[in-house]
Amino acid sequence: MTEFFNKIEGSSLNDVTDVKYYKSINWNMSEDVLDKMTWEKLTSQFWLDTRIPVSNDRKDWREMSESEQDVVNKALAGLTMLDTLQSEEGASKVSDFAHTQQEKAVMKNIEFMESVNV
């Protein structure tokens, strides 16, 4: 059955072209329980700035000294740069060494989450 999906047949029997075969991930049949657990943890913890009321922190921000605000700004800038670098360079390289489809999906999820900088 698999051979059907990775061949494109032409008009004659000799006219057959190999193509790349893609198999969808079946999360109900995990090859590695750690992959599934990691996926579930990652997807449950994902957040966007539109879903987190950061405006609730304004009072605390205003009560900080100028030097404390400067430290927070620099820390956030550094972390944002680190996430950007990891999403553009690191995670894609790590996913090249995935052992299972689910492990690769976990790494792609991490790559995506690191590219969301708020």
pLDDT tens digit string along 23-64? Answer: 777 778 877 888 888 888 888 877 776 777 778 889 999 999
Q: Over 70: is that where the pLDDT of 12 sits?
A: no
Q: pLDDT (tens digit, 9 = 90+) per residue, 97-115?
A: 888 888 888 888 888 888 8
Closest CA relative to residue 41, chosen from 109, 117, 116, 104: 109
Residue type, 99: H
